[in-house]
Amino acid sequence: MSNDAPWLSQGLKHIWLPYTQMKTVPAPIGVRSASGVHLTLEDGRRLIDGVSSWWTTVHGYCHPHIEAAVKAQIETIPHVMLGGLAHEQAYRLATRLAAMCPGDLSRVFYSESGSVSVEIAMKMATQYWLNKGTRRTRFLSFKGGYHGDTFMTMSVCDPEEGMHSLFTGVVPDQLVVDLPQDEASIKSFEDTLTRYGHEIAAVVMEPLVQGAGGMVFHSADTLARIRKACDAHNILLILDEIFVGFGRLGTMFACEQAGVVPDIMTLSKALTGGTLPLAATIAREHVFDAFYTDDPGQALMHGPTYMGNALACAAANASLDLFESEPRLEQVSAIGRGLETGLAPARDIPGVVDVRVRGAIGVIQVEEMRELDDLKRRFVEAGVWVRPFRDIIYTTPPYVISKDDLAALTSAMVEATHAWSKDVGFA
């Protein structure tokens, strides 16, 4: 592997990496440059990016339109505080997001990361009820869900899930139930709402696809059922579209496919096209109205230092331009078809239990993950950047990937998985 760059070996003694046991981690792979769907490594090799840098770079790397917007912005206003001062990019972006979002989702609160945008959504929901004179202290979420790594968001993630299970009893105890998908789970969901409904500030969920929980899909019907139940029990619905928002499932927002409008929606990952950190918590009118009074004590007391950063908002505006001028959603459906064909042969690999595709997400699920580092190494050797986790090997390519690159990506995935399956002894 390409670990010869001095900045890498020196820095490795000082950097603390995400989700990583630093003692046993193989050295990460140095990237020298990135362009379109390709990563050029320090040793000169080129990989097709099958991940889109944690699902962000939907237009590919270094898109000239986003680059130009950020360059122009840094020469005028890189950042000004949003308290008392205003700049065009943040205001224009809020106007555009409000116009794009379904229903009357129309008030945009900015932050810098997905986790924080979910924290803000939960704080908003709690205060919504307080401002209305009732105290609701609990949240209901679903097994398999993921909403971030900060303390409050950990409490609504799947509690059994390896990443956060250590913190059981430390983070607030929430109601985490099965997604209502069959008779038993529907009944238990309804029973929980009947029993605790008056204590629940909001239901928090990822619509249609649970991403970090293992790329698990559910139907639009399930989402519609949850919206209905929230209405019936007078509970707010927070949809976390941080992963699926901005076209990943073939519609701009996943909730559109179920005809559902959440009370609060969170967006981040692809918001700036993978260039700068930015997140948004977007509320409907009736949520905003609960804060819109003559009482200063009813204001939302939140304000991240870098909220509405001008560079990030310029990048986001440029990304939205590309969604308007380029056939991104058609590209997503073409990718979906390419993934169906390209990954289908994986069904016959010993150890593979499922192959599934939704929008521009392709998943090979295995019986059990073995020799994970070995599997990762095989993908790099095959010329693709794919980062398997839990029991899945998945791809979420940039929407601009060509037909040939997509075919190369899927066949590398299938071949590497096949060779790995043989070696680790799946029969």
List of residues contacting ligand PLP (CB under 6 A): 113-115, 118, 146-148, 206, 211-212, 240, 242-243, 268-269
Which of 269, 376, 399, 405 is flagged as catalytic? 269
Which of 61, 110, 128, 146 is flagged as catalytic? 146
User: Counting Cβ atoms within 10 Å, is residue 336 exposed (0-12), middle (13-18) or buried (19+)?
Assistant: middle
Q: For ligand PLP, which is the closer residue by CB, 109 or 243?
A: 243
**Contact present, 415 and 382 (Cβ < 8 Å):** yes
Instruction: Give CA–CA dist 25/14, Å, rounded.
Output: 14
How near is the Cβ of 204 to ligand PLP at its closest, in Å?
A: 10
Closest CA to 175 of 88, 123, 235: 235
End-to-end CA gap in the chain: 30
CA dist list (Å): 423 to 195, 349, 351, 353, 381: 51, 12, 12, 17, 16
The sheet carrying 31-35 orders its strands as 31-35, 38-41, 46-49, 384-385
Q: For ligand PLP, which is the closer residue by CB, 114 or 250?
A: 114
Q: For ligand PLP, which is the closer residue by CB, 275 or 421?
A: 275
Instruction: Give CA–CA dist 336/329, Å, rounded.
Output: 11
How near is the Cβ of 240 to ligand PLP at its closest, in Å?
A: 5
Instruction: Give CA–CA dist 345/112, Å, rounded.
Output: 40
How near is the Cβ of 101 to ligand PLP at its closest, in Å?
A: 17
Let me know if 19 is a catalytic residue: yes
Handedness of CA 168, 120, 231, 180 (dihedral sign): negative
Q: Closest residue to ligand PLP, Cβ-based?
A: 114
Q: For ligand PLP, which is the closer residue by CB, 153 or 421?
A: 153
How near is the Cβ of 306 to ligand PLP at its closest, in Å?
A: 13
Which of 49, 110, 158, 240 is flagged as catalytic? 240
Q: For ligand PLP, which is the closer residue by CB, 267 or 364?
A: 267
Under DSSP, is residue 374 helix (H, G, I), strand (E, B) or coil?
helix
Q: For ligand PLP, which is the closer residue by CB, 31 or 154?
A: 154
Let me know if 292 is a catalytic residue: no
Under DSSP, is residue 107 helix (H, G, I), strand (E, B) or coil?
strand
How near is the Cβ of 148 to ligand PLP at its closest, in Å?
A: 4
Instruction: Give CA–CA dist 203/121, Å, rounded.
Output: 11
How near is the Cβ of 142 to ligand PLP at its closest, in Å?
A: 12
Instruction: Give CA–CA dist 8/337, Å, rounded.
Output: 39
Let me know if 146 is a catalytic residue: yes
Active site residues per annotation: 19, 146, 240, 269
